Amino acid sequence: MEKRQIKENIYWLGAIDWDRRLFDSLIPLPDGTSYNAYLIEGSEKTALLDTVDPPMEGTLMAQLEGVSKLDYLISHHAEQDHSGTIGRVLEKFPQAKVVVTQKAKGMLMDLLQIPEDAFMTADDGQTLSLGDKTLKFIHTPWVHWPETMVTYLEEDRILFSCDFFGSHIATADLFITDPCRVHEAAKRYFAEIMMPFGKIIAKNLEKLKDYNIDMIAPSHGQIYDDPAWIMDAYRQWVNGPPQNLVALPFVSMHGSTRQMVDYLADALVQRGVRVELFNLPVTDIGKLAMSLVDAATIVVGTPTVLAGPHPAAAYAAFLANALRPKAQFLSIIGSYGWGGKTVETLAGMIGNLKVEVLDPVLCKGLPGEPDLQALDNLADAIADRHKEQGLI
């Protein structure tokens, strides 16, 4: 795709990756993604903001064909989907300075072997004049690596935010046409990579309150020409209370755990508690991550395999522990054949979670009356906790 004008002398460059379905060998991308770079031509200097993932290098270089000079290459984030083509751009424009935070400089030297003399570091709040356009660099650590920053273009009131506010969507529409779709994709992206850093992200959002922002141009997905709603959504995700929701990831081998999951789900709904089920062998873990943004309670359902939880349930527990959601309550349900340490093993995997663990319900084989009663008791306990928190 050709470069496209956003405003006078400001262009979108980059690549739309319609086919990509997995990021970091981990994160599902049901709608593909894009790697957005931006070109700003000031009256005196020209700057490129970020690059693209290396497999898309040819697309960016073709877009830069008609660009006669480049003075600065702003690198907001050292991850390779944005930085991976810096070396190739510097081959074409060897005089360009790579503008980065001090931390990013070291990371790019390590990750891409870019020589030290190619860099110019930017302090928090530092400005850089392109003549009639001024770039202001705002350090925003942990969105989602420690070195990240964003750029505010003062005259045009555009925030170039890199991963911050981004969404994995492949589309030829430069500006948002369907806010609901983008809200879900942005929430998924937040859940998968930013949720663990919620407190620092809250500080970064606070910092951005001082700026008049007409437009947010992220490095994945579409440009926000009405950015207030996505900033409000982020505030809700990081600062808002958990919701009256149980996230219930589970796996079942022969149907016993599934019976328990379905019974508990029904019991929760009868008590006015929302519940979302995720059958782990077939679920999209991005959907589970999104549920964890909101859920006040997590219940993991698993059979006992080889004396412990099913590996799929262990994966979900590991993921939840790493994502550090705001859930306040947790329990474990499931079935076993002859014994094991399922509860102990799972409980040992969630040390990061600040949760009250509610009595687990494990049954031998298919659930009988006492087991169903125990599930009713668990549903009562969850509903009571949600009421005490004012969530119902």
Which residues contribute to the site for ligand FEO (CB under 6 A)?
Answer: 77, 79, 81-82, 144, 163, 219-220
Distance of closest approach, residue 81 Cβ to ligand FEO, in angstroms: 4
- Is 76 strand, coil or helix? coil
Residue of this chain nearest to ligand FEO (CB atom):
79
**Among candidates 217, 73, 230, which has minimal Cα distance to 150?**
217
Q: Per this entry, what is the length of the chain? A: 392
The residue among 3 and 76 lying less far from ligand FEO, judged by its C-beta, is 76
The residue among 194 and 346 lying less far from ligand FEO, judged by its C-beta, is 194
Q: Do the beta carbons of residue 217 and residue 80 sit within 8 Å?
A: no
Distance of closest approach, residue 94 Cβ to ligand FEO, in angstroms: 26
Distance of closest approach, residue 185 Cβ to ligand FEO, in angstroms: 13
- What interhelical angle do 179-189 and 285-294 show, nearest 10? 90
Q: Do the beta carbons of residue 84 and residue 55 sit within 8 Å?
A: no
What would the DSSP string read from start to end of 107-136?
HHHHHH---GGGEEE--TT-EEE-SS-EEE
The residue among 163 and 294 lying less far from ligand FEO, judged by its C-beta, is 163
Distance of closest approach, residue 24 Cβ to ligand FEO, in angstroms: 9
- Is 163 strand, coil or helix? coil
The residue among 17 and 294 lying less far from ligand FEO, judged by its C-beta, is 17
The residue among 77 and 258 lying less far from ligand FEO, judged by its C-beta, is 77
The residue among 167 and 256 lying less far from ligand FEO, judged by its C-beta, is 167
Distance of closest approach, residue 385 Cβ to ligand FEO, in angstroms: 35
Distance of closest approach, residue 228 Cβ to ligand FEO, in angstroms: 23
Q: Which residues lie closer than 8 Å to 149 by C-beta, 6 or more apart? A: 76, 77, 100, 101, 104, 122, 124, 137, 138, 139, 140, 162
Distance of closest approach, residue 370 Cβ to ligand FEO, in angstroms: 49
The residue among 197 and 237 lying less far from ligand FEO, judged by its C-beta, is 197
Q: Given CA atoms 350, 351, 353, 356 in this order, what sign does their dihedral have?
A: positive
